[in-house]
Amino acid sequence: MRIDIVTIFPAIFDALDVSLLGKARRNGIIDLRVKDLRDYTHDRHRTVDDTPYGGGAGMVMRPEPWGEALDDVLGDGDPLVVFPSPAGEVFSQRMARELSAERHIVFGCGRYEGIDQRVLDDTADRARVRLVSLGDYVVNGGEVAAMAMIEAIARLVPGVVGNPLSLVEESHEGGLLEYPSYTKPPVWRGREVPAVLLSGNHAAIARWRRERQLELTRRVRPDLLAGE
């Protein structure tokens, strides 16, 4: 999978060099490229923003550098362009799975009060565009949102996570939260591992885990059960 990121803070994405994603990049499974939006400016101050037409607080990102940056990364394939935005559809495990089947995703990370609307309209004329929100809250820019989405998407690409079975039994796969996990020692600070997990009875263990999932989901996220 190829992933391009356009941002004014490329250094934020250095964190994607480590751990499983870093390994997937070195193995060539994920081809991730970070582009500095300021490299597409032509003035001495490398300006990327200006005051909004119609007035109002904050600054808006100018269209010219965005247009040039996107011209550079879109390519001839059929890329999906994701603009992280609190005004977008809410990201989910389902969307992560859907996007993990894409061959090329471009993340356009806006800052300030957003990107000039004409950039979104122009891009939608030549590529598939989605505005995607991390959740119902606001962060300072698209970078942190893109990073979370990239990690959620990339770990579903075959070969990124060593043991694919570990992707099956986790929160939000199957619509429930994950059951609690335990490892050695069997007693720690007087707290015992539930006896059923030491019983070797696989049917009883599966039943216990399913019950914990249902109980936890009912208590913490009843909205997830509402559709059942």
In the complex, the residues that contact ligand ADE under the rule CB under 6 A are 84-86, 133-135, 137-139, 141-142, 145
- Smallest distance from ligand ADE to CB 135, Å: 6
Are residues 220 and 177 in contact, defined by beta-carbon separation less than 8 angstroms?
A: yes
Minimum distance, C-beta of residue 120 to ligand ADE, in the bound complex (Å): 14
Q: Among residues 40 and 91, whose Cβ is nearest to ligand ADE?
A: 91
For ligand ADE, the closer CB: 154 or 176: 154
* CB-nearer residue toward ligand ADE: 77 or 135: 135
What residue type is assigned to position 9 of the chain?
F
Q: Buried (b) or exposed (e) across 57-81, using 16+ Cβ within 10 A?
A: eeebbbbbbbbebbeebbeeeebbb
- H-helix or E-strand containing 216? helix 202-220
Q: Judged by CB, which is closer to ligand ADE: 100, or 133?
A: 133
d(CA 154, CA 3): 9
Q: CB of residue 3 vs ligand ADE: minimum separation in angstroms?
A: 16
Q: Residue holding tokens 């990327």?
A: 48
Tell me the closest approach of the beta carbon of residue 75 to ligand ADE, in angstroms.
Answer: 24
Residue 20 CB-density burial (10 A; 0-12 exposed, 13-18 middle, 19+ buried):
middle
